[in-house]
Amino acid sequence: MSPGFIFTMSLRARLTLLYASLILGILLVFGSVVYWLVSIVLINHIDEQLHATVSDIVNVTRVDLIGGDLSVIRFPALEMTSNVHVQIWGRNGKLMTTSPSIAVYTEPLDPENLQSPIPVYHETYFEGVHLRVLNVPLIVEGRSIATLQAGASLSLVDTAQEVLLIILGIAIVIAVLLAAIGSWLTVGRALAPLDSITETTEQINRADDLARRIPYNGPAKRDEIGNLIGVFNQTLERLEILFSAQQRFMADVSHELRTPLTVIKGNVDLMRKMKSLDEESLTSIDQEAGRMTRLVGGLLLLAQAESGSESLSMKPVALDTLLLEVFQEMNVLAGERVKLRLSEIDQVQINGDRDRLKQMLLNLVGNAIQYTPKGGEVFLSLSTISEQARLIIRDTGPGIAPEDLPHIFERFYRAEKSRTRDTSTGFGLGLSIAHWIVEKHNGHIEVESEEGQGSTFCIWLPLDEKVIIPVTTD
């Protein structure tokens, strides 16, 4: 099997193969150790038998010495009750005596070790029989006079080893098969959710339907696959929200651009028909072009804010001076229709982008003036509370309906009543921009409103340097 083939297999097959190979490896090592230990025990048993027999023979062997010379050796009768066969060979290579069981044979049991000067155990074949032979030199007065060869058949050991090999082989094959089947089923079960992830992803791709979610049928306490499904579903949810927000955004932008373009086109067509420049039409075109410029400017700012490319130039800003500036500019806009009041102003300095902070204040004060009906009032105040600057813009206008309140900071969101107003008003971008500017200054914006009772926007900004000199203007 080439390594490349393994990579073309499914993950399930690969894991099964890995698991089965691991089990096979472990069992082979285990089987070899068992086989080796059993063989050692059996051979030891045979060796002990040979050793006992040889000891018995040597103990009863008599040697007669006449005048210091070897004359007669008297061996005991080599009638063995066990399966041990004995031969005694003289140094001259003559068979001196043999046990009756092998009396017909004149060949040494172990020719290789016939002259061995030390006792040696050796395995050999004698007349086709597998034997374990103990060779012992018989030494008299320092002289080796003969070699005793005691051999025992190893057929029982061989049979035991063969049977053991067959049993181990069958056990290993069965164990590896069971392990492979078990791991195939377990891995299949564990990987089944991945199939459903793939299937759902394919359905999403085919149908462009981000509303689909991957079903999770696992245990209550999520495992790794459960976590993956959870994270994947969260990603889908986020993508769905982003995608629908983008679609809504496109629809909103197209809608907002269509009105001024229709007005411009209508006026151009009219002037073409009249074959003269009409002052009223030109003013209308100019207004609509200005409106589109404001819209595109707002969108550009929000797009840059979202992409993070719009950076603020932070410098110490005297908020009180800035608020006074906004107050004076907006007082002109409020005119006689709405009374703009500066109720409290502390001297407060923060670290911020002056232009963006002014834009935020103009948006909020502009809204307050715009939505407050004739004869109403708008109050501005600046104070320092718990190490923070607090700006308040309060009006006595119509207020914001509770169902609109959570959405007013969204792009293009305009409360129901505001949508029907004439086209010279905003696009629903002012509060989104104000919100982004405040957040960029590490502050936050709060709104309280009750229908018919007016609205209060409260902006909290962290202080740079605290200088408070209470001044109250009314």
Which residues contact ligand ADP by CB under 6 A? Answer: 363, 367-368, 371, 395, 397-398, 400, 408, 413-415, 418, 426-432, 455
**Angular region, 27: left φ>0, alpha ψ -120 to 50, beta rest:** alpha
- Which CB sits closer to ligand ADP, 81 or 424? 424
- Which CB sits closer to ligand ADP, 151 or 428? 428
- Which CB sits closer to ligand ADP, 113 or 367? 367
The residue at minimum Cβ distance from ligand ADP is 426
**Smallest gap, in angstroms, from Cβ of residue 431 to ligand ADP?**
3
**Smallest gap, in angstroms, from Cβ of residue 295 to ligand ADP?**
10
- Which CB sits closer to ligand ADP, 75 or 371? 371
Determine the Cα–Cα distance for residues 122 and 88; give it in Å rounded to an integer. 16
How far is C-alpha 368 from the geometric centre of its chain's CA atoms? Answer: 50
Contact 312, 461 (CB under 8 A): no
Contact 203, 212 (CB under 8 A): yes
**Smallest gap, in angstroms, from Cβ of residue 372 to ligand ADP?**
7
Instruction: Tokens 């040979």: give the residue.
Output: 50
- Which CB sits closer to ligand ADP, 121 or 413? 413
- Which CB sits closer to ligand ADP, 12 or 411? 411
**Smallest gap, in angstroms, from Cβ of residue 256 to ligand ADP?**
10
Contact 394, 379 (CB under 8 A): yes
What is the DSSP code (8-state) at residue 75? Answer: P
- Which CB sits closer to ligand ADP, 216 or 413? 413
Element (H, E) at 349: strand 349-352
Residues 6+ apart with CB under 8 A from 136: 54, 58, 119, 147, 148, 149, 150
**Smallest gap, in angstroms, from Cβ of residue 415 to ligand ADP?**
3
Determine the Cα–Cα distance for residues 241 and 246; give it in Å rounded to an integer. 8
Pick from 298, 469, 319: nearest CA to 391: 319
CA distances for 367 relative to 175, 377, 378, 381, 421, angstroms: 80, 12, 10, 16, 13
**Smallest gap, in angstroms, from Cβ of residue 385 to ligand ADP?**
22
The type of residue at 467 is V
Backbone angles phi, psi at 278, to 5 degrees: -100, 125
- Which CB sits closer to ligand ADP, 84 or 393? 393
**Smallest gap, in angstroms, from Cβ of residue 401 to ligand ADP?**
9
Determine the Cα–Cα distance for residues 420 and 462; give it in Å rounded to an integer. 38
- Which CB sits closer to ligand ADP, 281 or 367? 367
Q: Can you point out the beta strands (E) in 13-141? A: 62-66, 69-74, 84-90, 95-98, 120-126, 129-140
Instruction: Tokens 């395995």: give the residue.
Output: 123
- Which CB sits closer to ligand ADP, 193 or 430? 430
CA distances for 102 relative to 20, 91, 105, 152, angstroms: 52, 20, 6, 12
Determine the Cα–Cα distance for residues 121 and 110; give it in Å rounded to an integer. 10
**Smallest gap, in angstroms, from Cβ of residue 257 to ligand ADP?**
15
**Smallest gap, in angstroms, from Cβ of residue 210 to ligand ADP?**
28
Instruction: Tokens 């000891």: give the residue.
Output: 55
Pick from 434, 394, 442: nearest CA to 411: 434
**Smallest gap, in angstroms, from Cβ of residue 292 to ligand ADP?**
14
**Smallest gap, in angstroms, from Cβ of residue 358 to ligand ADP?**
16
- Which CB sits closer to ligand ADP, 399 or 443? 399
